[in-house]
């Protein structure tokens, strides 16, 4: 049956896109397949546990954070089409010194890495931008999400899947036993209505009043103002929660938190918000900071800028905005 399925390499080759972008996507896919092997090895390959280092986000790095960051960085910098990369794990951008480099890659090498020690889903998220120069500096990376030419994530779970958009819909590929990415989800769309939501309810008391009102209405179920019962799902890895939404609808919320009032949110605009927002919008959903402002329209001012996130089924995001 695998012989009848479209291979990712063939899909990339058929794209109406510059050859440089095709090369970047090929490198990302190959590296994610390699990361899948490392993640699957877990304790058998000594990849579990903390690395003993603190990253630029002031978070303790897992061994796999460091391993996967190195893998993606080295692979992308070696791609002739890449002008530079930026990682959630590093303070500064890294130019590639490729004279023909014309693309920038920004990535979260292992989203949800706190899940790795309990064998729960984790993933890799990548955003691709055009570069104005083959010798980029940080300012060249600070483009709105509308400028993305591609967004990709891989989720490492019971199956390893890679989900991709180049601005013309969303497709999903599953990694086969022989290391091939095969098309399994040809036209991913998000249903406009849903009865599922993903949010860390334990933090409710720390949220702004509109967010608390929305959650109160949802939790009241059929007897409340929404008139229907909801189920909550929460994997504690954005890549896994967004993947569920792309597969069967729902909303994912990570709002502002008054415990850190000077931070607009926890998730990073450039490494998580923008690529996931492009995928969600391309699948027919909505991706906003507050139910109204599109994430893709936020002008970044810092490489590691944080934002609140509300994304998923369009009608439910509208309900969240009106709470």
Tell me how far apart the alpha carbons of residues 233 and 100 are, in angstroms, rounded to a whole number. Answer: 45
108 is in an annotated binding site: yes
Say if residue 88 carries a ligand binding annotation.
yes
H or E element, residue 312: strand 309-312
Does the annotation place 114 within a ligand binding site? yes
Q: Is 102 annotated as a binding residue?
A: no
Tell whether 87 is in a known binding site: no
Residue 51 marked as a ligand binder: no
Report which of 106, 221, 123 is spatially closest to residue 163, judged by C-alpha positions.
123
SS3 184: strand
Ligand-binding annotation for 131, yes or no, is no
Is 36 known to sit in a ligand binding site? no
Q: Quick one: three-class SS letters along 107-170?
A: EEEEECHHHHHHCCCEEEEEEEEECCCCCCCHHHHCCCHHHEEEEEEEEECCCEEEEEECCCCC
Positions of E strands within 176-308: 181-185, 196-198, 231-232, 251-254, 267-268, 286-288, 306-307
Residue 198 contacts residue 251 (beta carbons within 8 Å): yes
For 28, 179, 256, the CA distances from 174, given in Å and listed in that order, are: 14, 10, 34
Q: Is 69 annotated as a binding residue?
A: no
The answer to whether 77 is a known ligand-binding residue is no
Give me the residues paired with residue 23 across strands.
none
Binding-site entries: 88, 108, 110-114, 200, 266, 272
Binding-site entries for Mg(2+): 88, 108, 110-111, 272
Binding-site entries for substrate: 111-114, 200, 266
């Amino acid at each position: 049956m695998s012989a009848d399925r479209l291979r990712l390499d063939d899909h990339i080759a058929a794209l109406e896109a510059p050859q440089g972008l095709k090369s970047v996507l090929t490198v990302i896919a190959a590296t994610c397949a390699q990361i899948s092997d490392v993640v699957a090895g877990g304790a058998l390959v000594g990849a579990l546990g903390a690395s003993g280092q603190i990253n630029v986000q002031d978070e303790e790095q897992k061994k796999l954070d460091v391993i996967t960051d190195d893998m993606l960085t080295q692979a992308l910098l070696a791609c002739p089409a890449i002008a530079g990369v930026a990682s959630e794990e590093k303070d500064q951008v890294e130019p590639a010194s490729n004279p023909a480099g014309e693309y920038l890659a920004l990535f979260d090498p292992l989203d949800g890495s706190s899940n790795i020690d309990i064998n729960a889903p984790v993933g890799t998220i990548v955003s691709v931008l055009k570069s104005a120069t083959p010798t980029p500096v940080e300012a060249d990376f600070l483009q709105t999400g509308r400028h993305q030419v591609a967004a990709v994530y891989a989720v490492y779970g019971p199956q390893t899947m890679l989900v991709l958009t180049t601005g013309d819909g969303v497709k999903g590929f599953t990694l086969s036993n022989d290391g091939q990415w095969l098309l399994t989800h040809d036209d991913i769309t998000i249903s406009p209505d849903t009865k599922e939501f993903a949010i860390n309810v334990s933090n409710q008391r720390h949220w702004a009043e509109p967010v608390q009102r929305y959650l109160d209405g949802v939790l009241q179920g059929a007897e409340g103002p929404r008139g229907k019962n909801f189920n909550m799902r929460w994997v504690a890895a954005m890549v896994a929660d967004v993947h569920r939404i792309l597969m069967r609808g729902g909303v994912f919320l990570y709002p502002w938190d008054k415990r850190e009032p000077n931070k607009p949110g926890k998730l990073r605009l450039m490494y998580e918000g923008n690529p996931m927002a492009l995928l969600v919008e391309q699948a027919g959903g909505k991706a906003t900071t507050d139910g109204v402002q599109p994430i893709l329209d936020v002008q970044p001012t810092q490489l590691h800028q944080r934002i609140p996130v509300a994304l998923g089924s369009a009608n439910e995001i509208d309900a969240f905005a009106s709470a």
